């Protein structure tokens, strides 16, 4: 008698499973285009040097590490540019921003010359990813530069479609 009760319970359980219903659901995940840029330093200086011995003065720090993160559509471009907001100024005395140049390391990063009139390419990449490179700045040191402490602000722009 005991085995008959167990068999009946098993048959009832099987019937419950057969009556189960199935359904479908939709999961939506929004993954928008995003871009981020970060720098190992936010300012640099050029030390005093003899123009004859050091015609190109390296900045301190010697290089700024740039990290670019981009999430874009396949085959879309991610670009990083830099532009000086003005020439180098010390009071009313002005030196051209183009006296500052850079060399770059890292895949997609490029060498360039600072400009106040147009953005200059720092790097270009295709597709999503994480890119890291270094910008090493130099200042063209001349005997003819008027004495002063010159400064300028650089604006970096990271763009993707």
User: 100, 38 in Cβ contact below 8 A?
Assistant: no
User: Which of 71 and 6 is assigned the larger pLDDT?
Assistant: 71
Who has greater pLDDT, 9 or 134? 134
β strands within 34-90, DSSP E: 34-39, 56-58, 64-71, 77-84, 88-90
pTM attached to this predicted model? 0.80
State phi, psi for 70 to the nearest 5 degrees.
-140, 135
The model's pLDDT over 43-101, given as tens digits with 9 standing for 90+, comes to: 999 999 999 999 999 999 999 999 999 999 889 999 999 999 999 999 999 999 999 99
Multiple choice CATH, 31-159, 1.10.30, 3.40.30, 2.60.40, 3.40.50: 2.60.40
Q: How far apart are CA 108 and CA 72, in angstroms?
A: 16
Mean pLDDT across the stretch 22-44?
84
Q: Is the pLDDT of residue 2 over 60?
A: no
* Contact yes or no for 89/148 (Cβ under 8 A): no
Once rounded to an integer, what is the mean pLDDT over residues 127-152? 96
Q: How confident is the prediction for the chain on average, in pLDDT?
A: 88
């Amino acid at each position: 008698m005991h085995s008959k009760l167990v068999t009946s319970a098993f048959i009832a359980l099987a019937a419950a499973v057969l009556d189960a219903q199935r359904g479908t659901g939709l999961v939506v995940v929004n993954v928008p285009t995003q871009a981020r840029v970060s720098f190992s330093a936010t300012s640099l200086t050029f030390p005093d040097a003899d123009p004859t011995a050091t015609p190109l003065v390296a900045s301190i720090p010697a290089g700024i590490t740039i990290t670019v993160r981009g999430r874009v559509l396949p085959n879309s471009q991610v670009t990083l540019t830099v532009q000086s907001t003005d020439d180098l100024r010390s009071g009313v005395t002005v030196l051209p921003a183009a006296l500052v140049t850079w060399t770059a390391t890292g895949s997609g990063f490029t060498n360039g010359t600072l400009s106040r009139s147009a953005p200059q390419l720092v790097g270009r990449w295709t597709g999503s990813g994480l890119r890291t490179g270094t910008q090493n700045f130099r200042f063209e040191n001349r005997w003819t530069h008027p004495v002063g402490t010159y400064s300028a602000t650089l604006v970096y722009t990271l763009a993707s479609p």
